[in-house]
Structure 1
Amino acid sequence: MKTQLLIIGSGVAGLTLAVKHAEAFPEKQITIVTKGNEDESNTKYAQGGVAVVLDEKTDSFQKHIQDTLIAGDGLCDIDVVNMVITEGPKRLKELMAWGAQFDLDQTGNLDLGKEGGHSQFRVVHHKDITGYEIERALLARVHQLKNISLLPHHFAIDLITEHQLKQVSENISCYGAYVLNQKTGKVLTLQSNCTVLAAGGIGKVYGHTTNPAIATGDGIAMAYRAKARIKDMEFVQFHPTALYTNQEGSAFLISEAVRGFGAYLRTKDGTRFMPNYDKRAELASRDIVSQSIDTELKKSGDPCVFLDCTHLDLKSFRDHFPNIYKTCLEHHIDISKDWIPVVPASHYLCGGIVVDSHGKTSINNLFACGECTRTGLHGANRLASNSLLEALVYAHNIYKYLCKHEVLDIQKFLPDWNDEGTSMPKEHVLIKHNLKELQALMRDYVGIVRSNDRLNKAITHLDMIYNEVEELYKTSKISTTLCELRNMVNVAHLIIGQSLNRKENKGGYFNVDNT
């Protein structure tokens, strides 16, 4: 197959770029591949909203910029921060023009929420399912455009570069990707003049995560194997308040906006502990709240802390957070009288594939946007609700760049996928076992608080998992679960290695051996 623009991922970043490009160039073919259902992405599960400056009487670009820089703990790129935040209102207006609906206040203006790390009310939201609404609106627009082909249940295995062409070059270019049709088992050679990675985050590497099952770091791992620059992987943001249950797998997120609404964090004995750690108390940035909870849990040995909403107006809470209220009831938690058990969970990656302000990677014809990237906006810790904003802005920047710089038609013969000498694995238990080992390793050795000793032990354990997975990969027919495991091993390697290289604690990164 051949396409003018190949987009890997169907979240807000990939869909926004597809819509813009398709509208501007109706003669060009755009192909979106996504490994799950077309709407399955981290975007779909984003509860909070889009942080934008709209009320200039109480807010300003400078205040939003300052909040972002404080959260980023000195590692943000100031030019990027300025660019993203000042572009915000335009990108939001565009999204609303495509049909995304956001909550209004009693005067008919957008109802603005406040989240941890923000000094003002500036978060535009749709109840507590903002990402779901954005995804809905973008997909509806995509289906109206005839020059977009959306291929669900298609898994991108690897990017095609000089490596696959058996050529040696320091100036690497991307010519498309090998893509597995998960329903037929056939691997497509998808040639593209321009390829965009919008493949989301890495939460599943930790097992206990607010991310969906698809968040296995595929985009970052593919870019890493293609020799793209990857940076700041040590900055894994843990959301402080995921619903605590005894079940494994994805955890339900209790939005930061609940604390913005006035909820308190308490230990089992009822002590409200956050004022002891930060003057902003429950509204401190996520890194501080997560580390504070981790400290309390280590002191007490308890499995969780609690979010107390019992003093809040019940009707107002239900109006603002209907999905959270409903999910709590399903877990036999009545928020009017019961505290919500919560625990930090892997939530967002602040690093990733290095891109410039146009979304260009270090590989020719390869762009990236969304959570798989390291733009410089987040620095050492993402400010709440800046991620949907970043995705909208960078999708727009890639679109603007492609409008001004025509990508040449690639005239290359690309070899088909070669799986000679491989066979169906006799025992899938090896994949499942290694996945559990990897996730336990990352939680226990590379969690919220790290140490050099644990990180070095993690490398030793990871090497054994890596060798077993690579052997499986070389001898087995391709499967999504095997490829995902391989990608997660690559991502784990990057997180551990870059954690050891960081000698100073910043933002979401804390190593007890650093001064």
Structure 2
Amino acid sequence: MSARWEAGADLVVVGTGVAGLTAALDAAEAGLRVVVVTKDGVAEGSTRWAQGGVAVVLGDIAGDSIEAHVADTLAAGGGLNDAAAVAEIIAAGPAAVQRLRARGALFDGDGARGVDPRHGSPTLDRTREGGHSAFRVVHAGGDATGAEIERALVEAARSLTILTGHVAVDAVRDVSGAVAGLQVLDDRGRPGLLRAPAVLLASGGYGQLYASTTNPATSTGDGVALALRAGAAAADLEFVQFHPTVLYTGPAVGRRPLVTEAVRGEGAVLRDRTGTRFMVGQHPLADLAPRDVVAAAITRRMAETGADCMYLDATGLDGFAARFPTVYASCRAAGIDPVRDPIPVTPAAHYACGGVVAGVDGRTAVPGLYAAGEVARTGLHGANRLASNSLLEGLVTGERAVRSVLEDRGLPRSAELVVPAPAVGVAQRGIVQRAMSAFAAIGRDATGLATASDVVESATLLATPLDRTGVEDAALTLIAQAVLAAAGTRRETRGCHVRTDFPERDDVWQKESLVITLDEAGRPAVAQAVAA
């Protein structure tokens, strides 16, 4: 792709979620020339849809501690967490949240006088979500935490240079292999080149790999695909977390309304169509078990009973509309009154636990390429994300990545650029989504994974993406191939990777993370295992 226009910067940030805008603001404050690239409007990423909150220990809840938060995260992660990364990110959480509040984010309880009688908090209200042993999740607007965080960061970022309507295509590297810039396409398909010695990917996950998801249309895995083509590695891609409770209104595709886990944290329970509480006996925490456990239990119960959905009974909660205004509005729009009637729910694709292999400092294996937030695999989540750890990770790693960019300034760079080949494998999006939803969602087996691989392969053709849709379809095709390769190799059940033909966890042969790189033909392959 030849560039029709060029511009220069010290740092290009791809994405305007919590990790991307935190990084961009920090970089600008440090004096760097920053350009932010986003496919849609500045506030249209995944962050705004996060309902539950930020999991953080602020030291004012009796009996809670950083160590307890670490322990809960490790327990949820199925033995694949990087323990050092977990400890570092969680310990950095309080300071990161305070910096966010200084940038204008208002959490529920900010400015309140006195002590909250339920949770003992002198300032911020708290809730509890699945897998947490304490009330440690701070929230905003009841169940609109992501929207408030995005509002505050977007307001703070008004002075930044932000290219809306531009999709990142490929990293440009110099002859040594270091990143030297980013190719983009605008919403008319016009190409451009942003020359920069540092590119930070903060572009979110790949929830649109599945037909039904909680993710916005932007979550097409562009960042992971770009990093793989640039020579970086990805890991834990097979661990796609399905949120247990998405509002069910009949067969549908695309983004579905989320029913935040905090509803169960406040006392709601799951029932089948006969009214039976089926989570009792499934896990010591019952309805507050980690998400992988609850999503799998709902899926099994639906199969056992032939039902299209299960029911979340929140009729016993006081003040539902005030505490969960977003969920209440979604339910009422669907003709459901959650104050009087149980909410029909099903699982849907929600969060990518894996991504580009990066340290807590954002560095990847490619000099000049950094990753933070959901696009990155830092080792925080392991085989299953603990609820509300994602916004925390974005805050911490966005800040740390900029420190790395500043430390790496001045490293030698060549003026000679290597432009990537324009043709890539592309399959029609609907074909990919149907294959992944049918054979690589909750409950996978060798036959189904092989079928999905055959379907995707037979639909894949070499093409040069000429617009946003083409870039996204190419990314989804590559991510599907990578997820299927990893899921076929991991012949066990662990976290949110459930193999019905290998229902037990294998801590002898499969206890490490699987790393994906591209082979010489540009196809995803399991390169090696990396110790968790």
Residues 172, 420 of structure 2: 8 Å contact kept: no
Deviation by residue 1:360-404 (Cα, 9 ceiling, x = unmatched)? 011110000000110001011000000110111111111222333
Amino acid at match of 1:333: I
RMSD: 1.9
Match of 1:494 among 460, 482, 495: 482
**1:95-494 alignment to 2 at 5 Å?**
95-104=100-109, 107=115, 109-126=123-140, 127-143=142-158, 145=159, 148-161=160-173, 172-182=177-187, 184-246=188-250, 247-313=252-318, 316-408=319-411, 410=413, 412-414=415-417, 434-467=428-461, 470=462, 473-474=463-464, 478-494=466-482
Structure 1 residue 418, shift from structure 2 partner: 9.2
Deviation by residue 1:6-41 (Cα, 9 ceiling, x = unmatched)? 00111000000011111121xx31000000111011
Q: Does 1:42 align with 2:56?
A: no
> 2 CA distance for matches of 1:173 and 1:217?
22
* Matched residue SS, 2:311: strand
* Matched residue SS, 2:312: strand
Structure 1 residue 410, shift from structure 2 partner: 4.6
Higher helix proportion (structure 1 or 2):
1
> 1 CA distance for matches of 2:80 and 2:369?
25
* Matched residue SS, 1:75: coil
Structure 1 residue 465, shift from structure 2 partner: 1.9
Residues 355, 368 of structure 1: 8 Å contact kept: yes
Residues 189, 468 of structure 2: 8 Å contact kept: no
> 1 CA distance for matches of 2:469 and 2:404?
35
Partner of 1:21: 27
- Structure 2 unaligned runs (5+)? 1-6, 116-121, 505-532
Structure 1 residue 76, shift from structure 2 partner: 0.7
Structure 1 residue 203, shift from structure 2 partner: 0.5
Amino acid at match of 1:7: V
Deviation by residue 1:212-250 (Cα, 9 ceiling, x = unmatched)? 011000000111112211111010000000111233211
Q: Does 1:84 align with 2:89?
A: yes
Residues 178, 413 of structure 2: 8 Å contact kept: no
Residues 173, 419 of structure 2: 8 Å contact kept: no
* Matched residue SS, 1:84: helix
> 2 CA distance for matches of 1:407 and 1:387?
32
> 2 CA distance for matches of 1:503 and 1:137?
44
Structure 1 residue 512, shift from structure 2 partner: 1.6
Q: Does 1:507 align with 2:495?
A: yes
Structure 1 residue 415, shift from structure 2 partner: 7.6
| Count of equivalent residues | 484
Amino acid at match of 1:130: T
> 1 CA distance for matches of 2:272 and 2:205?
31
> 2 CA distance for matches of 1:366 and 1:178?
14
- Structure 1 unaligned runs (5+)? 421-430
Residues 192, 410 of structure 1: 8 Å contact kept: no
Match of 1:72 among 70, 73, 77: 77
Structure 1 residue 81, shift from structure 2 partner: 0.7
Structure 1 residue 412, shift from structure 2 partner: 2.1
* Matched residue SS, 1:449: coil
Out of 104-113 and 391-400, give the one that drifted further.
104-113
* Matched residue SS, 2:212: coil
> 2 CA distance for matches of 1:121 and 1:187?
49
Partner of 2:522: none
> 1 CA distance for matches of 2:321 and 2:413?
54
> 1 CA distance for matches of 2:61 and 2:253?
45
* Matched residue SS, 2:460: helix
Structure 1 residue 504, shift from structure 2 partner: 2.7
Deviation by residue 1:454-504 (Cα, 9 ceiling, x = unmatched)? 11111111111223xx2xx24xx6011121111001011111101111133
Residues 189, 417 of structure 1: 8 Å contact kept: no
Residues 202, 375 of structure 2: 8 Å contact kept: yes
> 2 CA distance for matches of 1:234 and 1:254?
24
* Matched residue SS, 2:356: strand
Amino acid at match of 1:376: G
Partner of 1:426: none
**Structure 1 residues 404, 418: CA separation in 2 closer, same or farther (over 3 Å shift)?**
closer
> 2 CA distance for matches of 1:202 and 1:399?
24
Residues 178, 417 of structure 1: 8 Å contact kept: no
Partner of 1:428: none
Could you state the TM-score of these two structures normalised by the residue count of structure 1?
0.91
Amino acid at match of 1:323: T
> 2 CA distance for matches of 1:4 and 1:418?
25
Residues 362, 401 of structure 2: 8 Å contact kept: yes
Deviation by residue 1:294-326 (Cα, 9 ceiling, x = unmatched)? 10011112111111111221xx22221111111
Structure 1 residue 77, shift from structure 2 partner: 0.8
**Structure 1 residues 480, 403: CA separation in 2 closer, same or farther (over 3 Å shift)?**
closer
> 1 CA distance for matches of 2:87 and 2:420?
44
Residues 220, 353 of structure 1: 8 Å contact kept: yes
